[in-house]
Amino acid sequence: MQTGTLFYVVGPSGVGKDTLISEGMKALGPSGRYVQVRRMITRPAGIGEDHQPVNDETFAAMVEDGRFLHHWQAHGLRYGLPIGILDDLKAGRNVIANGSRGAIPDLAGIVDRFVIVEITAPPAIIRERLMARGRESAEEIEQRLARTVEPLPSNLDVVTVVNDTALDEAVTRHVAALDHHASRLFLKRVPIASARRRMAYLREDNPLVDAAALAGEGRIEITHAGTGAVRAELDLVEPCDMLRPDEIGLSREVFEALGVGNGSLVSVARTPSPSSRKILRRKIAGERLRADDYETLFGDIVDGRYPDGETAAFLLKAIQSLDDEEAIAVAKARCRFGPRIDWGSPSVVDKHSLGGIPGSRITLIVVPIVAAAGLLMPKTSSRAITSASGTADVMEALCRIDLSFADVDRVVRETGGCIAWNGRLNHSVLDDVVNAITRPLALDSNTWSVASILSKKWTAGSTHVVIDMPYGPNAKLKTRAEADELGRIFERVGAGLGMTVRAFATDGGNAIGNGIGPALELRDVMKVLDNAPDAPADLRNKALFFASQILSFSPEHGSHAEARRTAEEILVSGRARAKLDEIAAAQGAHSPIMPGPFTRTIAAPRDGMVEAVDGWHIAGIARRAGAPHDKSAGVDLKVGPGHEVFKGDPLFMIHSGSVASLERAVAAATPETGITLSSSGIRPSHIPIDPREAPPAPTVT
How many CB atoms neighbour CB 188 within 10 A? 17
| Rounded Cα distance, 407 and 343, in Å | 14
Q: What is the pLDDT of residue 692?
A: 34
Residue 50, classified by CB atoms within 10 Å of its CB into exposed (0-12), middle (13-18) or buried (19+), is exposed
Q: What angle do CA 354, 359, 360 make, to 5 degrees?
A: 40
Walk along the chain (701 residues) in steps of 10 and give the mean pLDDT of each run.
Answer: 92 87 92 92 81 94 96 92 95 93 89 93 88 82 80 88 91 91 92 88 90 80 85 92 93 93 89 85 90 91 80 84 90 87 93 88 97 95 88 96 93 96 72 73 78 92 96 89 95 96 92 95 97 96 97 89 96 98 97 97 94 91 96 96 94 97 95 86 42 40 37
DSSP state of 399: B
Report strand pairing: 349-353 vs 464-471. Answer: parallel
The confidence score (pLDDT) of residue 217 equals 64
HSE (CB half, 13 Å, CA atoms) of 83? 7
Residues 6+ apart with CB under 8 A from 88: 4, 35, 95
Burial of 424: CB neighbours in 10 Å, binned 0-12, 13-18, 19+? middle
Report the C-alpha gap between 43 and 41 in whole angstroms. 5
* Long-range CB contacts (within 8 A, 24+) of 565-568: 566/373, 567/369, 567/373, 568/544
Assess contact for 200 and 233: CB atoms under 8 A. yes
* Backbone CA torsion sign across 205, 210, 216, 220: negative
* Residues 568, 637 contacting (CB under 8 angstroms): no
Give CA–CA dist 368/26, Å, rounded: 72
Three-state SS for 522? helix
Q: How many residues in total does the chain contain?
A: 701
Cβ–Cβ < 8 Å for 347, 375: yes
pTM to 2 decimals? 0.70
Nearest C-alpha neighbor of 178 from the set 121, 119, 120: 119
Q: Is 83 exposed, middle or buried (0-12, 13-18, 19+ CB in 10 A)?
A: middle
Amino acid at 252: R
What is the SS3 assignment for 645? strand
Predicted pLDDT at 445: 77
In contact, 412 and 376? CB cutoff 8 Å:
yes
Give, in order, the Cα–Cα distances in Å from 417 to each of 124, 407, 412, 583, 590: 57, 12, 5, 7, 18
DSSP reduced 3-state for 81: strand
Helix intervals (H) in 497-557:
518-529, 537-551
Q: How many CA atoms lie within 13 A of 633 on its CB side?
A: 27
Q: Are 8 and 151 in contact (CB under 8 A)?
A: no
Pairwise CA distance, residues 470 & 454, whole Å: 18
